[in-house]
Amino acid sequence: MKNLNKEDYKICVVGLGYVGLPLAARFSSMGYEVTGFDIKKERINQLKNQIDVNNDLSEKNLKALSEKSKLTSSIDEIDNNNIYIVTVPTPINDDKTPDLKPIKASSELVGSVIKKGSIVIFESTVYPGVTDEVCTPILEEKSSLIFNVEFSTGYSPERIVPGDKIHTIEKIKKVVSASNKEALKVVSFLYSSIIEAGIHQAPSIKVAEAAKVTENIQRDVNIALINEMHQLYTAIGISTNDVIDAASTKWNFMKLTPGIVGGHCISIDPYYLMHKSEMSGYTPNIMRASRKINDEMSKWVVEKFLQFIDIKDINIKKTEITFLGYSFKENCSDTRNTKVKDLINLVKGQGINVGLWDPIVNPQELRELQDQGIKIYTEKPNKIECAFLCVNHDEIITFLEGYTGLIFDYKNIDFN
């Protein structure tokens, strides 16, 4: 195989969200010719004007990307590339089964433009077999090319953590895989040239797909365990955090804290592997039990909150409960699948007046809540009667340092 050079590869990143945008920016900054594609024209126009509503890129990096790379929502402008990296979301349906429509649509789109010698790399989180059994046949049909002869595929699971400014894309080791040895060399070359932490070559695409869902399922199971303990310790009147602090003095204790599990990874990915597991005839008992515990955590939290209201003798007809934080995790503006929405709806369903302040979430994302009669604070509230702490953004914690009113913190329940 000839020596590999950056100049030989023109990269198109399909999907410019939390994963695709940093990836496109990183490839561009390392000297690659990059095209960023997103079906949302508004998103492309924002990026061209150096606006990133997700706050994933610094102004400097966003400016560099918009000046050096092509950003487009037109399919006609992406047919001159030979590397296509698909980073679209993989959500679930209402019945908790995988919703593969976005990745199927992306495969159809890419299949319609690839040429001989192209490599299509998927980064979207899926269950083992989706790339080979779902995406590849679509690519073949749409392109009329012969798989592993005229085009190849690869899979490199995204590992970006939204809102994390320390573990940025180049500092996270990348798992890579491909449909044949020649393609693996190219995929490895591409990622190793932009990832400082290095790469790990998985022996197959299915292994790489499984590795990704395994990462998040492990966290889901562990969080479910600590959530179950939190419910138990609250019932017997001791502090879960005190227990964790004591237990974590042993070197091999995994320190986790209770929480409501939302977002687009940990609360979604288990359903992908559970679906594949059930297709194969195996019942994933621990995964199912963990999902049930974490899914029902919101109801338990609201039960404790109503108990808090009763003990503190709060007049719910005259008191506004102000929720602090709306995104799915601290110091992150991502509101996808946030469980705070469930908390708000459950509390509001009790006839309680509700307000919300999240200093880092774009107010445009809160319009739906505002339309439902929830008071949205676009500035730091001057006065709060009773605070319901949901997300520990740094700005919220700083605000609470000077707060003397009532506060319900479900992670640190204390009714005294």
**What is the span of the domain harbouring residue 236?**
213-295
Whether 356 is covered by a domain: the verdict is: yes
Residue 3 predicted with pLDDT over 90 = no
Residues 135 and 51 in one domain: yes
Residues 236 and 181 in one domain: no
- Identify the bridge partners of residue 36 per DSSP, sorted by sequence position: 13, 71
Residues 36 and 153 in one domain: yes
Q: 386-389 and 320-324 as β-strands: parallel, antiparallel, unpaired?
A: parallel
Whether 13 is covered by a domain: the verdict is: yes
The per-residue pLDDT for 164 is 74
The per-residue pLDDT for 332 is 87
Span of 52-61, 105-114, 222-231, 357-366 with lowest mean pLDDT = 52-61
Cβ neighbours for 44, distance < 8 A, ≥ 6 positions apart:
16, 36, 38, 71, 72, 73
Whether 122 is covered by a domain: the verdict is: yes
Of the three residues 202, 221, 241, the one that is the final residue of a domain is: 202
Residue 1 predicted with pLDDT over 60 = no
Residues 284 and 301 in one domain: no
Predicted confidence band at 317 (pLDDT cuts at 50, 70, 90)? confident
Whether 1 is covered by a domain: the verdict is: no
Q: What is the pTM of this model?
A: 0.91
Active site residues: 265
The per-residue pLDDT for 383 is 85
Predicted confidence band at 364 (pLDDT cuts at 50, 70, 90)? confident
Percent of the chain having pLDDT more than 90? 81
Whether 88 is covered by a domain: the verdict is: yes
Residues 193 and 51 in one domain: yes
Predicted confidence band at 252 (pLDDT cuts at 50, 70, 90)? very high
Model pLDDT for residues 180-227, shown as the tens digit of each residue? 999 999 999 999 999 999 999 999 999 999 999 999 999 999 999 999
CATH of the domain at 291: 1.10.1040.10
Predicted confidence band at 58 (pLDDT cuts at 50, 70, 90)? confident
Residues 84 and 36 in one domain: yes
DSSP-assigned states of every residue in 374-394: PEEESS--S--SEEEE----H
Residues 90 and 188 in one domain: yes
Residues 26 and 127 in one domain: yes
Domain count, the chain: 3
In whole angstroms, give the CA distance from residue 179 to residue 184: 7
Residues 26 and 117 in one domain: yes
The per-residue pLDDT for 37 is 98
Of the three residues 202, 227, 260, the one that is the final residue of a domain is: 202
Whether 208 is covered by a domain: the verdict is: no
CA-closest candidate to residue 322, choices 227, 263, 391: 391
Q: 174-178 and 151-155 as β-strands: parallel, antiparallel, unpaired?
A: antiparallel
Over residues 35-62, the mean pLDDT reads 91
Residue 416 predicted with pLDDT over 60 = no
> In whole angstroms, what separates CA 149 from the centre of its chain?
34
The two three-digit tokens of residue 5, written as one number? 């050079």
Model pLDDT for residues 381-412, shown as the tens digit of each residue? 888 889 999 999 999 999 998 888 899 999 88
The mean pLDDT of the chain is 93
Residue type, 26: R
Over residues 294-300, the mean pLDDT reads 96
The two three-digit tokens of residue 360, written as one number? 């880092």
Residues 26 and 141 in one domain: yes
CATH of the domain at 315: 3.40.50.720
Predicted confidence band at 415 (pLDDT cuts at 50, 70, 90)? low
Predicted confidence band at 294 (pLDDT cuts at 50, 70, 90)? very high
Secondary structure letter of residue 145 according to DSSP: P
Residues 149 and 287 in one domain: no
Residues 365 and 284 in one domain: no
The per-residue pLDDT for 322 is 95
Q: At which residue do the structure tokens 């019945």 appear?
A: 95
Whether 207 is covered by a domain: the verdict is: no
In whole angstroms, give the CA distance from residue 145 to residue 72: 25
Of the three residues 266, 295, 324, the one that is the final residue of a domain is: 295
Over residues 313-339, the mean pLDDT reads 91
Residue 245 predicted with pLDDT over 60 = yes
Span of 69-78, 100-109, 344-353, 362-371 with lowest mean pLDDT = 362-371
